[in-house]
A and B are shown apart, each in its own frame.
Chain A
Amino acid sequence: MNKKNSLLSINNLKVSIAEKIIINGLNLTINHGEVHAIMGPNGSGKSTLAKTLAGHPECEIQSGSISYLGKDLFDLSVEERANEGIFMGFQYPIEIPGLSNTAFLKAALNAKKKSQGDEEITAVDFLKELKHNAEVIGMDQAFLNRGVNEGFSGGEKKRNEILQMMMLKPRLSILDETDSGLDIDAMKTVANGLNSMRRKDSSFLLITHYDRLLGYIKPDFVHVLSKGQIIQSGDSTLANQLEEKGYEWLVKT
């Protein structure tokens, strides 16, 4: 399982939040270029897995290990993980009033460049790329100058997450319920953005409740999470089965 050239490898992970075990012995390997979907009922630990990978302070690691690009993930701070290419699309994106989207993205992009020893991006190049990406996902230019997620609707916030992902070009994108709260058009544009990024050096971990998004983005693997463990893995047909039968039949066995 633990291939040397894998992007991410999670071994027997146990995580608690506020002294309650949420992830309980989870194993998962994601290789370069793969798209994985994690499905499961509410409270199965999906969001905690995403937060743990991103390094959220409330997630307390009880045991297990995660290696990312051959490094121990726990040695890296939140921002180091980000600059090494881990991107988390938030289920509930945070508002930062007064700080413009553009300024925020530029700061993030330059932080990444700095960590890699690269020159800062020029304003012209930055804006060109930003506008292009905003078009791909159908985001109005006016949003770019508003405060980060400030007064955005649920759908606008999710689009904004995808826009940030496209700008930061992560190696591993963890999208936590990015499809929730989206209407069908928004879903398509979000999927467009996602599909435009699918290539050998970018992998995805899609966390989702339903298979709606998976109709637009075909995953290589589907895993079912229950009580903090992966209880079933398969290819994209597993998602269809879940849609038909629900989770009950798996959880019971």
Chain B
Amino acid sequence: MAGQNIMNTHFDLNGSQLKDYGLDLIDVDWLKQLKKETLARLKTQSIPSKKDEEWRYTNIKPLIQKCFELAAKNSISNLKKDKPFIQKHSDNNIFIYYADGHFCFMGNLPSYIKTLRTSEDQMIFQTLLNYDVEKIHTPFADLNTLMLSDVLMIETLKNQKIDATIHIIICSDVEQNISPRLLVQLRENSSIRIFEHYLTSNSCVINSLTDINCEKNSQLDYYKIIDEQEQGYHLSLSNIRLARNSYLNLFSWDSGANISRNNINIDLVEKNASVNLNSLFSPKEKLHVDNQLKIKHLAEKCESSLDYRGILQDQSTGVFGGEVYVAQEARDTQSDMKNRNLLLSDDARINTKPVLEIYNEDVQCSHSATSGCLDNDKLFYLQSRGIEETDAMNILIRSFASEIIEKIKNSQMKRTFQEYLVQKLQ
């Protein structure tokens, strides 16, 4: 039995060339070289299986299969010229779309935003992508590198406070394989707001990779909505590094996909860095959402706070895997991790695992997890005031979600999430 498994757990890419899968999408030598090396490495790697603790609740095989199928099918080289849905930039909003395999936009991008296809400065992309490969060598990061056809980079200047919201909209209405790659470099004492929005309406496979580096005193306000169609697969990996006094504020909402898996790795590498993560996931029908978080406290006086809420309906399944690691050097650490879940159907499932790994006594860490249905007393109270049962239930479900949304400080983003709430939970 063991022999068979070993065969199956490796990426089955024997003899394949880049072009076999339409992976040589950009005619740039250094990138082809990088992809070649990546392919070679990927061949030696094994596909995660349910035996891996991290993948225990998510069967990844159909996703990977689909991923290669699509790659072989559609090479995305012929780009459509006009894209009527593209919005114009305004003073407060920059719109960047990822469609047909590249980042596109109307008008000019501000100087702190570059794309691989349009930028003349290839060096910086090359350096950062090579560096990434060194750092992150999970099979899915490799898959992204292998299949990417464009890269978006946001790089602030020192002391640059950007007041606009950068909208990054990943969209598609045909069945395709999408590998967006995002690089964010926040230089010292700068700040920015990014809103990533996934909107697909066909059975796409998305395998996105985001790499964020926040230097001293920088601030990142980061929002994410994953709104995909039922047949889709969504895989995202974010690696975030926070230096001294830097601050990350993340709000996300994942309404699920056939498989939606979000990995977020955050390293608090210097003193006083802090991170605040708030998230909602609300799969319906047979959708599946798997959240995997790893927060590493590697320096003293850092803070992390996580609040993840699941609303699970029908036959949907949810996973929360949260891990807070506190290194021996990370004295005076504060961390709080919460996962609350509403199970609204007898067939819905939640698997939650909030892990603390602590190698230092000078910490204040806590985590909590709850699961349950709507509170009958509250329901009764509302009904006694003349509200119909289904309305009363909706009110309670929305208020559960609103508690997260109310924490959003930026009023524009708060409104966006509120609107999404009305649309999603009715």
The answer on direct contact between A and B (beta carbons under 8 Å) is no
Q: Give residues in B with beta carbon < 8 Å to A.
A: none
